[in-house]
Amino acid sequence: MNQSESHPLHTLPPAQSGRLIDFDTARVVTQMIEPPRPVLVVTGEKPYPNLRVDLVPLVYIRRPEFWGIEVVGSFAGGAPRPIPLTVIPTPYAVELDLNGLLGTQGIEVVGANHTERIPLPVDDAAQILGIVEDGNLRRLFPPWVPDRYLRLTTIASTDGAGPELGELDLSAYNGELVRVRGNYRDGWVYSATVMEAVPESILSIVARQVFADPAEGVHVMPVEAQHRPMETVEPERTA
């Protein structure tokens, strides 16, 4: 066996470019903006400090259920070096904008030793902001959703099964401000994913006021009080 064959990187499975390397965690982060921009964040440990790690999406003729994204290691200039190198495990973290890279059900991260599927809402899903009260989501935003309280389910709106079969238990989020992504229909959020949760805080108090339900009534300072001039106090005169 020559030195090239004994090189540790050559023992890893080949990718479309470079070599697949393993990863520890993979998660999708979505900022609270419109339109939402999901970003894949992958962390792990690479064998060499100067090894470059990239997230490389696969190419498909038609949109798959889970879009494959390879975790690829390579040296500058393309192919891995066929010379012996001292293995120095080094942590890495890489990210990839998933705009245009979502399958009909999500993505699949492909590493050297394992893959991980991450279900994601379809592109036409809505973002809903609300407060969890007694295990129920009280809708704060958007205003076009008519229901005050919503139920969440992992069942897709296109499935024949009833939404109750996949209903999410929100009791763990009681009192928290949550951001949910999914497809709204008739009091349910289908293909629901809790994207973010904020414990009871100043932020949740402000959100309650900003997105208050008009039916509940909001205390507003009377107009005359809003425009009442400030009283001035004359300083004491001394002799």
Measured CA to CA, the distance from residue 6 to residue 152 in angstroms comes to 52
The CA radius of gyration of the chain, in Å to the nearest whole number, is 26
Describe the strand order of the beta sheet including 38-46 as a list of residue ranges. 25-30, 38-46, 90-97
Neighbours of 103 (CB within 10 A): 19
Contact 36, 43 (CB under 8 A): no
Residue 90 exposed, middle or buried by CB count within 10 Å (0-12, 13-18, 19+): middle
Measured CA to CA, the distance from residue 51 to residue 88 in angstroms comes to 10
The amino acid present at 49, given as its one-letter code, is P
pLDDT at 132: 92
pLDDT at 207: 57
Contact 2, 22 (CB under 8 A): no
Which residues, at least 6 apart from 22, have a Cβ–Cβ distance to it below 8 Å?
44, 45, 71, 111, 112, 113, 114
Tens digit of each residue's pLDDT, the chain (239 residues):
444 444 455 555 555 556 899 999 999 987 666 556 789 999 999 998 888 999 999 998 887 889 999 999 988 765 455 456 678 899 999 999 988 788 878 899 999 999 999 988 655 667 899 999 988 899 988 888 889 999 999 988 777 788 999 999 999 999 898 999 888 888 999 889 898 888 866 555 665 666 665 555 444 333 333 334 444 445 555 55
Measured CA to CA, the distance from residue 52 to residue 31 in angstroms comes to 26
pLDDT at 229: 45
- In the chain, the N- to C-terminal Cα span, in Å, equals 107
Whether the CA torsion 76, 80, 81, 84 is positive or negative: it is: positive
Which residues, at least 6 apart from 146, have a Cβ–Cβ distance to it below 8 Å?
none
